[in-house]
Structure 1
């Protein structure tokens, strides 16, 4: 599997590819190796998922919660990314996402959407305006929207309506116990959106 994966990367023009086969706990291994990485890429579903729509890999949340680096959760089908959307809530993790995009060259030239789902309060408008300004100063033309409604359904509807290719958002901003009781927007977005999701903690 590693040989085939390396061959696929080399065929696309990636010249420096190293492979490692490790035994032990996946999360511990990722934490050990992420120090030399800028981005971690993981699949959405585990090997036993049988492509069930609502089933996520058992290690996905563990990796995201434990990692200090951005996580790219890949989708099953590949598509060239022409645009991206930041699901912005004003919290630390989504601010981190905005700052990463502002400082990175990876997203330059892509159409940028910035969406906040929630009450149209003055504080929310101010945070959204500040994030928009930061992205514009970095050279992005930003489509900014504040839409009232639940975060999960609002984000999913926007992604579908605007044919978004990549969703960027903060990840697991609440405790495991809270997520167990009332659910997690992060998990719901990964489950329901059929596009790659880039997560920041």
Structure 2
């Protein structure tokens, strides 16, 4: 993936760390930065009494003013730099946020979501759902304390021989080719013709090697642990600077209700995570 337009979603109440990280990422990639400042509209409180309505209107006015101030502050920071950028705002209702985020993410190469935004439980899930399920572009999830980069030296690819994993690998091909080391990690793979082949990981390793990628395959036993825990630990063990994986091997509803590898990795990733549906 060669990113020429990167979308950075930031919230009204968060600090500027995610914005500065996005600026550095776009400067290195020579990409246009599209900043979307978002706020969830406060829902109506109680019934339809005059006092309640007045309080609700005042709260929404406070929110829109905060949004305006954040947009202005973001523009000031960006104007001090030399990258190409635009800044827009989104003031939306909870039920509409996912679709509106997806609409904007549909026309970029990558959606960048920083740790500051994910700390807001109310909006974080809406952003992730919109970016992942309403857009074909990958997301780059950057935990707090990490700098966003599209030139990692060591990459861990979470592989399970499914279409989602294949889509994620193709989306990250530029990063994989440029990396010094790419580790394909498989947790408890079954060696069957219809699943992973007689030698799990051999097919994808051959595919990547033909692109000039320096690749190795690690077959990891879970030992009764969750797949996400095994992947997180292995990423730390090999010094990975990026994890690449596909989103939602199970149905979206089932994964969200009962948990799963995708949800667990989104909630807690030790290093930047590039994910594609």
CA–CA distance in 2 between the matches of 1:8 and 1:89?
42
Aligned twin of 1:52: none
Look at both structures and tell me which one has the larger radius of gyration over its CA atoms.
2
CA contact (8 A) 2:102 2:133 kept: no
1:119 equivalenced with 2:189 (yes/no): yes
Aligned twin of 1:108: 177
Superposed displacement of residue 10, structure 1 = 6.8
Question: Aligned to 2:217, which of 134, 144, 151?
Answer: 144
CA contact (8 A) 2:154 2:242 kept: yes
Residues 20-169 of structure 1 mapped to structure 2, 5 A cutoff? 20-24=88-92, 25-44=96-115, 45-46=117-118, 48=120, 57-63=124-130, 64-79=132-147, 81-102=152-173, 104=174, 106-110=175-179, 111-123=181-193, 124-125=196-197, 126=199, 128-149=201-222, 150-169=226-245
Q: Find the residue that maps to 2:85 and give its secondary structure.
A: coil
Aligned twin of 1:189: 265
Q: Find the residue that maps to 2:264 and give its secondary structure.
A: helix
Structure 1: which 5+ runs fail to align? 50-54
Tell me the TM-score normalized by structure 2: 0.60
Flag the structure with more relative contact order, 1 or 2, with Cα contacts below 8 A and sequence separation at least 6. 1
Q: Find the residue that maps to 1:112 and give its secondary structure.
A: strand
Structure 2: which 5+ runs fail to align? 1-69
Tell me the TM-score normalized by structure 1: 0.80
Equivalent residue pairs, number: 193
Q: Find the residue that maps to 2:86 and give its secondary structure.
A: coil
Q: Sort the Cα spacing of 1:151 and 1:4 in 2 relative to 1 into closer, same or farther, 3 A.
A: same
1:174 equivalenced with 2:242 (yes/no): no
CA–CA distance in 2 between the matches of 1:130 and 1:10?
48
Most deviating of 163-172 and 113-122:
113-122
CA–CA distance in 1 between the matches of 2:267 and 2:217?
25
Which one has the bigger strand percentage? 2
CA contact (8 A) 1:120 1:147 kept: no
Q: Sort the Cα spacing of 1:128 and 1:196 in 2 relative to 1 into closer, same or farther, 3 A.
A: same
Q: Find the residue that maps to 1:187 and give its secondary structure.
A: helix
Superposed displacement of residue 176, structure 1 = 3.7
CA–CA distance in 1 between the matches of 2:87 and 2:184?
36
Superposed displacement of residue 180, structure 1 = 4.5
